Structure 1
């Protein structure tokens, strides 16, 4: 995109920006003190998972509730939440409400004192499903997963019951202000037909209080990328002002010139604003219908296409939006809810706190968007409650990389985040990146994710987990480097774990075995796929469980924290990438179908105080993991399928011709099987064959067993002593299942 286009849009929104800043005031270590959950009203309760019992703990009870909360716009720290003063009533109060789900042992005596809060991902419960190898958004079913030498069963609902077998209380709540509530009605229940309520919140609209409560407006931009031949609807995230102009543009990449799409090729339809932002039905804020065939046929738009196709091309719809919501309340809601559940006896209406006396330890976790939320929550100072107490004792964010979120802004879109091709200039990925306090080499600012909680003595213990997708897509190296080529020390309150070869969302062993029973045979992507390379199917949910056990023990002073295992510059497991795979020590596998371009989601210093974000030409040095001669990354915790590999597992996926060729393919990875024997190895394949690596099927199984035992010894894999889960035995069974596959059985 041309810089002039950014400047033009910024000037169009300048009047609103002059009197209403887009960003929170984080210039001081300021804690909101005049805020609280005023009521927690239970809308329904019953036995979870259809009455399934979990070991000695027994059954669990679910509570479906709605929280009502307030905060004073006269609080000295009110400016730490964007537009708080612009949403106050005549008494200076800002009221909002949000959905809450609680899962706790039916017998209070069986609760173990730990509250595990999962940050929902767009209203969904994903982390519990990963921790228990079960099913997402399901409090009704309970099917335990299993892997044996001759059978695979994938989990549903409660899965293996890992968390529930321990008596842990789980809590979820709505925090994303553009997701509608599900629990505002009189009653609610869990059933086979309704196993999970999609959680949301109801937020006030900000108005320009300094100018007679006039409607706030700005020229904003929403994005659409069609990764298939039929999609044609671009959903908007804000209410569009009536009778105002709009513009649709097309570009091949985020840095390409933006070409104006003629108005005759698109049509805007207003919605009722009942559904979430970006919804493409009549219940959303509105949507744009694009005549993509006409776009492709217009010679003036040819530069926005790839090989004549707009698959993968970027459409931007720019329009005058109005009535922004106070989205930063999504952080305050979580802070005040956890504080209430931990410390309060009753709410202001006299309704008892359902967890009163049960909570001694609080942990927070979340995957992807939810992991980024936890990093942002911590950085913005929300781990200190209104009374100056610590909110979370421990945090376990997953696959967040160096990013935060686009939440506490005017015109926020918490669901959006920066990738190389998609939503590239989305706010929420600027300095600071690391937990350590450092000085930014490009802006001169000094900051860190722990800076505020250190000043307030409220820092949690933190374990962060990242996959290779975060190395290429989320600049994970900036957690351990300063952006200018130097390693950063990891603070004593933090441990970092990098897991090579794995997927963005940790996959269960049973799901991986079901998807790809034989790692020595590549799956074939459909002809319509964005990338010609199949995605990696390496399981790692077992590591998530082990890290949670270590975090809880660390917080309770019952376990020694594990040592970080993350790539660094000093040990040679990070390097600057060029267009040649050898720059990372990687073999050239392009002739076999796994290309390499050295591309990643680069990062510049961007001005987030204008709409849309204005980039600069000042770029951070981002490093990528180095590999061994087989093409597998050297640093981090190697799960058994990577420690004893049958394929090259790459942390990137490249778009193929007709889909913005050569650009990164979102949150996807790749894998390419090794040849089984030297005789079957292609001439262009420099990697050793399976036979050369392990000698026989029995040699492979023995190597896996040794790798599993090594992970158990490092406390990175559970062996049945915690939560009723024996991941070590399951991985050994998976190796035997692999050894019996038809193609693999050609080995001696």
Structure 2
């Protein structure tokens, strides 16, 4: 019999903390605020009112556990008394007050650089702290009873306002000494007022001979080294041009290579999401008796991502994090929007996960690297063998996945590699994945009247109605086994793909105008600029996440093969899902755009597309020498246009690519439009 209560507590603690099955997990959940009800008491169908929980979750990881061994520098992180590595993250939950009235499904919205994407599927402007009745928008998710959760995962997310952040440790050598290594900054300001630049990591030395700053105006230019007298360190985290007050040249490309110190163990961000969702799904309480707010409720888990977090979930799968440490599936269904075939530079030393590469920016970061596709393939350019679905296939924890991309991802992020081999040959769909191109869409939704630094107004094609329909299809695939819609992407096998011609060493290529079928439109510049992929050599230690050659050298390296969709006589894409604005067009809409004079003219305008309106009458068209038919020649009357939109929307609904309520919205918008009125 144990008479000492303190000894009994120690033994009980040993049972908790020494159990191998429990070592890597969320050990404490702290709800710091609860708003019940939230949304000003608004009721959602039969589900009723929702409540909002905000707080923190604290996790621990065993560096010796095989599922965690893939995390770069985890073994070099400081450990607590139990030999475990600690981290803490913000959490945010919206749940039915009465969980029994909900649908027992968790909707994980993976935040983008700390910001929520709440408005998307709900068609709202809910912002980063949805609170009012209006913030709930149409209540798409709440009316259906989903619990919605967020967690911090990106250690580079700014700790401001209601951003979701995560705190991870700094890696040190085994003897406790500071780790240093090469780091790199791509610097470009689309204005002429910036005079300083903040580095992602502190410089290990302020000796300018250990760093190099270059500048060029266009990607095809040879970089010019700026001598030591032309720049200086303000401090270990900031550089500036000399003399002080000198502005960086507008839209010029500066590149800064230096020796940095104190890398954070950024890859913990993958384990944080794994363990948070696993806790909500499987645990009853934390180690201190605090209840799981969703205990015994979650039967299915889904995720929704947009852009950066879609790339995060691509690597989340590749690295095996969809299996928790008890080998249970974490996420059942993933809707990945705008991720392309890219990963995210999170699980590397001196990680900068907020970066992303496009036609002109950030080409040399570890984002667009093999593997790109789900099946296990051998890379003919490097000899490596890998696949995004390999890890989950081994553990039997693969999710159902919808990979959805705009035309922009095909033009600026080589998205075709997601569903081809490295030589550009079409691959059959994996059993658990479907692929969709949103024809003629840019990266997100643009404003047709706003060009910004681009040459044309941006593309307003809005994919959210499609995303809602596909999410319902994903849910039914996961929960009912209902066959999902077929993939709709450009394929070489059916002649809808147009292959890019690479420009060695520049990470860009060209799509010939004749091959694409692009019409010559007065006042519109066509260069065929497209992003291509080259093997990036970060050095012999890159397999362990350590970049010894940073930035890498790509000069003279062969390219992977990628392609885009062919276009019709209007310049609108023929492959993919043609939403009503593309199927019944009033303009040419593209996924690519070019920069205007003063901002790197004729180089890629990154995530933007174009909206190039048709003329109203045949006379106007002929006067402008525009080869595209006018609105009058196409539709004759406003009523005919409205009927064409209605017919296109209904056709998409029959294919389970639009919901009935969104069919009505398209019809109403066409009726309210000024087309041929």
Regarding TM over 0.5, the answer is yes
- For the pair 1:53 / 2:16, whether they are aligned, the reply is no
Residue 634 to residue 121, structure 1, CA distance change in 2 (3 Å): same
Secondary structure in 2 matching 1:615: coil
Q: Is the 8 A contact 2:498 2:511 kept in 1?
A: no
Which residue, out of 28, 44, 54, partners 1:39? 28
The residue that corresponds to 2:6 in the other structure is none
Deviates more, 1:672-681 or 1:616-625: 616-625
Q: Residues of 1 paired with 2:666 and 2:363: CA distance?
A: 38
Q: Which whole-Å CA distance do the structure 1 matches of 2:280 and 2:617 have between them?
A: 59
Match status 1:366 vs 2:355: no
| 8 Å contact kept, 2:417–2:424 | no
Contact 2:169 2:265 in 1 (8 A): yes
Cα pair 1:261 1:295 within 8 Å, conserved? no
2:93 to 74, 99, 102: 102
2:608 and 2:644 map into 1 onto residues whose CA distance is: 28
1:426 CA displacement: 1.2
Is 1:500 aligned with 2:439?
yes
- Conserved 8 A contact 2:511-2:530: no
Aligned equivalents of 1:231, 1:537: Cα separation in 2: 30
Measured against aligned partners, the alpha-carbon deviations of 1:633-661 in whole angstroms (never above 9, x if no partner) come to 00111111111001011110111233222
Q: 1:650 to 1:180 in 2, by over 3 A?
A: closer
SS of the residue aligned with 1:642? helix
Contact 1:123 1:200 (8 Å CA) reproduced:
yes
Secondary structure of residue in 2 paired with 1:332: helix
Q: What is the distance in 2 between the residues matched to 1:59 and 1:441?
A: 55
Equivalent residues in 2 for 1:144-183, closer than 5 Å: 157-179=135-157
Aligned counterparts of 1:234 and 1:361: Cα–Cα separation in 2: 45
Distance 2:478 2:242 in 1: 53
1:200 paired to 2:165: yes
| Conservation of the 8 A alpha-carbon contact between 2:334 and 2:402 | yes
Question: Of residues 512, 516, 532 in structure 2, which corresponds to 1:602?
Answer: 532
| Alignment partner, residue 641 of structure 1 | 581
Are positions 1:735 and 2:674 aligned together? no
Does residue 339 (structure 1) correspond to residue 273 (structure 2)? The answer is: no
- Cα shift at 1:464: 1.1
Shift in Å, 1:252:
2.8
Aligned to 2:503: none
Question: Any residues of structure 2 matched to 1:75-224 within 5 Å, and which?
Answer: 75-89=65-79, 91-126=82-117, 128-135=118-125, 136-143=127-134, 157-179=135-157, 197-209=162-174, 212-224=175-187
In structure 2, what is the Cα distance between the partners aligned to 1:735 and 1:404? 38
Superposition deviation, residue 331 in structure 1? 0.1
Inter-partner Cα distance in structure 2 for 1:524 and 1:316 = 30
Q: Hey, what's the Cα distance between the residues in 1 that align with 2:438 and 2:414?
A: 15
Considering Cα pairs closer than 8 Å and 6+ residues apart, tell me whether 1 or 2 has the greater RCO: 1
Task: Report how far residue 265 of structure 1 moved.
Answer: 4.0
In the aligned structure 2, how far is the partner of 1:40 from the partner of 1:259? 52
Find the residue that maps to 2:465 and give its secondary structure.
Answer: helix
2:487 is aligned to: 564
Q: Deviations over 1:518-568 (max 9, x none)?
A: xxxxx363xxx3222111111220011001101011100153211111111
The C-alpha deviation readout for 1:135-160, integer Å capped at 9, x for no partner, is 132311333xxxxxxxxxxxxx2111
Unaligned runs of at least 5 residues, structure 2:
1-19, 501-509, 543-548
Name the counterpart of 2:520.
Answer: 588
User: Structure 1 residues 168 and 77, CA, compared in 2 at 3 Å: closer, same or farther?
Assistant: closer
1:133 deviates by 1.2
**Residues 670 and 290 of structure 1, relative CA distance in 2, 3 Å threshold:** farther
> In the alignment, which of 542, 548, 551 is matched to residue 471 of structure 2?
548
Shift of 1:74: 2.5
TM-superposed deviation, 1:260: 1.9
User: Residue in 2 aligned with 1:538?
Assistant: 461
Q: Which residue of 2 aligns with 1:72?
A: 62
In the other structure, the counterpart of 1:349 is: 288
Name stretches of at least 5 consecutive residues in structure 1 with no aligned partner.
1-30, 144-156, 183-193, 272-284, 297-309, 517-522, 720-725
Partner of 2:529: helix, strand, or coil? coil
Relative to 1, partners in 2 of residues 1:737 and 1:226: Cα closer, same or farther, differing over 3 Å? same
String of CA shifts for 1:475-497, please: whole Å, max 9, x gaps: 01112222324211111111111
Contact kept? 1:402, 1:476, Cα under 8 Å: yes
1:646-705 CA deviation, whole Å, 9 max, x = no partner? 101111011123322221111110121111111001453111111111121111111001
State the partner residue of 1:689: 630
> What is the count of residue pairs matched by the alignment?
633
Alignment partner, residue 654 of structure 1: 594
**In the superposition, relative to structure 1, how do residues 109 and 88 fare at CA in structure 2: closer, same or farther (>3 Å)?**
same
CA–CA separation in structure 2 for the residues paired with 1:537 and 1:367: 17
- Residue deviations 1:341-393, cap 9 Å, x none? 10001111111111001100001111000111111100110001000111111
Give the superposition deviation at 1:294. 5.8
For normalisation by structure 2, the TM-score amounts to 0.90
Aligned equivalents of 1:496, 1:718: Cα separation in 2: 19
Do the aligned residues in 1 keep the contact of 2:469 with 2:659 (CA within 8 Å)?
A: yes
| 1:677/1:691 contact within 8 Å kept | yes
Query: What residue number does 2:351 align with?
Result: 412
Aligned pair partner of 1:673 in 613, 625, 637: 613
